[in-house]
Structure formats: C-alpha cells, structure tokens
Structure 1
C-alpha cells in the first residue's frame, strides 16, 4: 500500500508510533512511507542535530551519514539517531571529501562553524549534489562573493538556512503585510531580540569575531534577512552602536580574549525609503523577539517569548491594528505541538519541508544564496560601522571589495 505525503499533511508532526501494534495492511492514515531522499550531515553539533531530528520528523528524507572532525559530536549524534529517533543505522565518514562524494547521498546539510563554510562549500559544490548551507553563509564579503559565484550556475538546489522567516509569527506577519497589505505601504520596521548569551561551542568559535563574523553577522543575519524581506528593497545606509557590556569580558580561549559584543542598535535605510531599527541584548533572562511594522494604513506587532519563570501569557502573539474602520485583530500563531517543539518554534522543520519540495521540483520561497548574501551585507556593514563609529554607505562598502576583483583572486 502506498500513500502519498500530501494525503497526510493533516497529521504532520503526529506521533504515529503508538499505532505500531497494527499490521501493515491495517495502516492508512498512520502508514510510515519510506524516505525518498538521503542526506549527509556535515557538522553534528547543536544545530546539526536539530536538522537531523527534523529530517526524520518530516519523513521524506533520512540521514544517510555523518561527518564531523569532533569525535564527541559524532558519538552524540549517532546516539540520538539510533536510540532517540530509532531511525536505524547510520554511516560515519572519515573525511569531508568522502561525505560529499558519497554516491548514496542526494543532498548535503552543512552545519559547520561559520568560518569553515567557504572551505566546506568548495568541496561540497564539486559533487553537484543539492546543498543546504546554514546561516550566515560566510563571515566576510570575499567569501560571500565566492559562494555567490559558485551558486550562480549551480545545477542543483542551493539553499541558505535563514529559517526565522518560517517561524509562525513571521509567516503570519509576511501574509498580513506583504500579501494582504494589512498595514498599507510599510514605512518603518523595528525588530528586538533579548536573549541569553551565546552558548558553548566546540573551540568556542562564536566568542570571537574573526571566526563568527561578529555578533551582527552570526546572530543578527536572521533579522536583517527579515528587514530585507519586509522592505522588498536593497539597503543603502547602515549605522550601528554596540558594546561588550556584560558577557565574556574576562573570557579567554587559547590565550585570546573574546571580542564579540552582547548588545547594540542598528539603523538601516532602504532604497525605497523604508527605515529600520534593530535592538539587541544578549544578557536577558529569557528569549524574546518582537517585530513592529508601521504602514500608512495600520500597525502590525508580532512577538515570540520563552520565559524561564512561571508567568502566564502566550508564547506567540500577533496583532494587526488598522485605520479607517478596517477590521483589526489579534492571534496566537502556532504549529502542531511536535513541530513547534522540534526547534526554533518549528521553523527548522518547515525549512526542511521546503528544501525537500525544492529538490522534488516544487518551487518554494526558501532563502536563496542572493538573500543570504544581502543578510550578511547588512551585518558586515553594521560591524564596520561599530568599528569606525561612522555611517556605512552600502555602495561604497561593496565597491571597496568589488566582486570581479575578489572572485578572480
């Protein structure tokens, strides 16, 4: 018996294992179809394991093999795959080249530290397999141009992991603002993120700007992607302030002192006149995101909250306040429970849904390499403004590292 995926969308994320007592011929709504695709996971840390879990949950693909030079990461990922996910056996590759050129794999999920992305992509792209590259695509403009060049005529899917656009609050905000035009012409965009400090990583690479790209690149490229998406325009000016106010002030690793900021403000102006501001604090005892769009016909506010205290209130919230007698509303956008808790509010799950859709020939609105490029252009410009104390003009910033010069070197 074969049941196509689209017949089961209503049960997405539903735990079908409780029906394992049924003989195969008696399962229809809960049938477990065999995955059509095989992915190799390159980088098996926190985010890599999240991608592994949602791959299995989504169901149309499986993880065929793992590669990571860190033995403890590999061992944990194997344990999660075999024992927690009960997804069968899994291969472990000895080298990056072996993982990328595995004839069994249809696609490569690249979840390695930021500064390694360019070297991994250089090897991965030779395979011509479908590529999923975690954000930020690179830590500097030179490497970003090179990946743009690689992706320009790439024969397979090349998707960037900017998954925040698939969080339920932002999916609904995109629908209201860009499709329904509920607030009219957007004039200003404000985003806030208040959260805990950067977590531990192998080699503590995220505590250093040289390896992470800086906080405005590593952490905030998600939000700059949202700026670009809602503005529907190109950035022209960026100004930023920030400091290492609380976190890692005395932290050292292998004799080097941490230099990443933990708080800041970024102002971005776009070609079409839209103005944006971003507010970051990474020493807050909670996770809180807020988006506010103001247009000539209304205002939209969307929030996501994860509290570490027993206070009541919705985790997700969206309100649209409209002028001129048009109806206003509030809502609490969520995904099914299993999907919502699978990582980043379910955003990673739907990022995988659309990655598989893309591979199978259904075009979706997943983040392109060009969109990944512009998300880090804003982040890198913000880091430059932070260093100089001056406003950065994007055209001048890009002209200082022209594409032809960089690619040909």
Structure 2
C-alpha cells in the first residue's frame, strides 16, 4: 500500500489510545525509515524545542547533545524520552559533539555571543548546520559567518523561523504570490509581550552578550521587513528605553542594560517604509502585521492574554479595491504542531532544513538574509544610543564593510 505522507507523523503515535499498537504494525503513524541524525549544541529552552520538533516530525532523530549545564541536558533527555526509548548521547566537549561520524547535522542554540566561535568548530565537521538567530551580535561576526557560509559545502541555515508562523506564511502568500495588495508601500509590525525569560547565567539581560533587544529579539521581524520589502535598507531611526524591566537587575557585578520598549523606522532603497513597535512589559503575547499596498491592505495578528474568556487567536484580513475579493481567515497548523513551540514555526523550519539537506529548494533563511536582519538590529540599537537616524552605508563603512 502507498502511504499517505500527510499522515506519516510520529505525533499520532503520542495519542494514548494508540500506544498499544506495536511498531511493526504501524502504518499511518509510521514516519518511514530514519533519514538523518542531529546533535544539538546548547539545550536550553530553544535547544529543547529543537529536540521536540525533530522527534515529533519523525523522519530524523536527535542523537546527542552538548551543554555544560547539567539541568539543560536533563531537560533535553526528558524531551527525547517522550518520543523514543533510544538513549540520548551526552558529549563532554564541543569538538566531540560536532565530529561524531554517526551524526549528519548540527543545531547550534548557544548564547548569541558564542555563535561565531562555536560555528568555527562546527564547520570543521562538514555537517549540515542550523544556526539559531541572531546569527551574531555585531556586524563583523555576522559578516564572517555569511562569508563562511558562501564556501561551506553543506547547508548552513539561519534560524529565523518566524517566516513560518501561520499568519506570516499567509501574509507572504497574499502579498508576494497572489499580489492581493498590488505594490507594497508600507509595513508595520507590532509585538507586545512579557519580559525576557530567565536564561542560564542570565546572558539575555546584557547587550554585550545578546546584541541588545533589537538584535536578539527583533531580528525575526527585521527579517520579515526585508522579505516583504525585497530591497536593501537605507536608513534606520529608533527611539527606545529601559523603562520597566530589569532596571535594578544585577548579575556577576553587572547591571542589566537591555531595552524593553522601542519604535523603529526603516527606509528602503525602493521607497518602502517599515515601522516596528515593541513593548516587553505588556501582560500578554501579541503580534500584528499591517501591509499597505496601492491596491489593498492586509492585517494579521496572533496572541494570547491568559484571560479565561479570551477569544484571541490567529486572524488575517485582506481588504482590496472593489475589483478584487476581500477575505478574512484564521491561519493555523494542527494543534499538536503549534503546541510544539513558536506557533509551529520551528517545526516547519525543520522541514525546510531537511528539504535543503535533500537538495530540494528551500525558503529558509540564508546566512545572507541573516546578515541583513542583524544590520537593521545593530543600526536600531545604535540609533537609540545616538538619538539620531543611522544610515546603513555609514554603519557598514564604520565596520569595514563599505564594499557591500
């Protein structure tokens, strides 16, 4: 019998009422032969999410992990145990984790400021690599990674997975494929959410380790800006502050210095303007995008506010001129996938990574795209510090990258 690939998902095997079915008798719940083995470098909250979606998708498995924090390793072990009886290999060094011949790919989820140093070791393995966002905390490191990727013989994908959130997948389709809005002229994205969560050694509370809030958190949205604008940024103006969060927070004798709110305006070579609104002391998790073109307007949002009778969820509307249809929809993935993290975006990011490893076309973020998302974030952080507009040309030249 020919298997319907839409049902070949290990997630079905997690439903308790099907637990009695032996492995050899599984058909719809069988993902097929194992395709690739991955090692995850850094298994904090993001690394554990990568373990989860790898195992949930089912064609690949997480072979092992490397992380100097024992609690993180135990967390990863528990996640894998939900899906498989195969023990998790735990390595005692980065080099050992990268160079195990049993492994086909590496997923790097270490703190932002370590990415380049970790990648220098990882590329010596010649394995496929998925590097979490932001690719680096500064332009020189980001450019070094971009150049490294250009000559790398295997896939080197950047973890800008927000482009796979349901609302953004549909927004991209409406704007870029159906061209429902005509020519895009303005882009607005808003994120209101709770503060940064705890991390091991609290590295995300300090700009020198994270790159700053507008690099660490907002590179996702700047990647979306670049996707929709399909142009290079010319200038960035940002205003922001540390108004509420971590103002008295100290760790290791250092005081937190990260922004918790900002407005960012980006101007592009083709005349498109984009603006971003961030608040990280809101009692909710809410994202919104508004695209305005010369023939229509799109608005999409997703959110949770924790209230018992909240009706929030995924929403998208397209309002067009009279000669086109308008519509409202609620983009979504299967609940099991959305619940795996980031509204299912990480799961579909993994599918695109596997596509690329198989030699198929992929829409995942390249190192070049990762670089330009960091450019806007760094420019925005610099603009906040200076209190003035930053031109991208000036910023690149100051970092020895004037040839770009």
TM-score bin, normalised by smaller chain: over 0.9
TM-score when scaled to structure 1?
0.95
Partner of 1:38: 37
Partner of 1:248: 246
- Asked if the contact 2:98/2:121 (under 8 Å) is kept, the reply is yes
- Asked if the contact 2:291/2:297 (under 8 Å) is kept, the reply is yes
Partner of 1:187: 185
Partner of 2:138: 140
Where in structure 2 are the equivalents of 1:287-306 lying within 5 Å? 287-306=285-304
Which structure 1 residue ranges, 5 or more long, are not aligned?
none
Q: For residue 324 of structure 1, report the CA deviation from its aligned partner.
A: 2.6
TM-score when scaled to structure 2?
0.96
Partner of 2:384: 386
CA distance in 2, matches of 1:242, 1:397: 19
Taking a change above 3 Å as real, the CA distance of residues 114 and 24 of structure 1, as seen in their structure-2 partners, is closer
Out of 201, 222, 242, the position equivalent to 1:224 is 222
CA distance in 2, matches of 1:200, 1:101: 31
Taking a change above 3 Å as real, the CA distance of residues 136 and 25 of structure 1, as seen in their structure-2 partners, is closer
Number of residue pairs the alignment of both structures matches: 402
Partner of 2:60: 61
- Asked if the contact 1:60/1:356 (under 8 Å) is kept, the reply is no
- Asked if the contact 1:13/1:336 (under 8 Å) is kept, the reply is no
Question: Secondary structure in 2 aligned to 1:15?
Answer: helix
CA distance in 1, matches of 2:352, 2:122: 21
Where in structure 2 are the equivalents of 1:390-401 lying within 5 Å? 390-401=388-399
Partner of 1:9: 6
CA distance in 2, matches of 1:376, 1:139: 8
CA distance in 1, matches of 2:31, 2:399: 51
Partner of 2:158: 160
CA distance in 2, matches of 1:79, 1:177: 41
Partner of 1:130: 128
- Asked if the contact 2:115/2:135 (under 8 Å) is kept, the reply is yes
Where in structure 2 are the equivalents of 1:7-406 lying within 5 Å? 7-10=4-7, 12=9, 14-17=11-14, 18-22=17-21, 26-82=25-81, 84-403=82-401
Partner deviation per Cα, 1:290-346 (whole Å, 9 max, x = no partner): 000000001000101112112332410000000133111000000011001110000
The worse-fitting range, judged by mean Cα deviation, of 73-82 and 157-166 is: 73-82
CA distance in 1, matches of 2:18, 2:355: 27
Q: For residue 78 of structure 1, report the CA deviation from its aligned partner.
A: 1.4
RMSD: 1.7
CA distance in 2, matches of 1:329, 1:236: 34
- Asked if the contact 1:41/1:48 (under 8 Å) is kept, the reply is yes
CA distance in 2, matches of 1:287, 1:28: 39
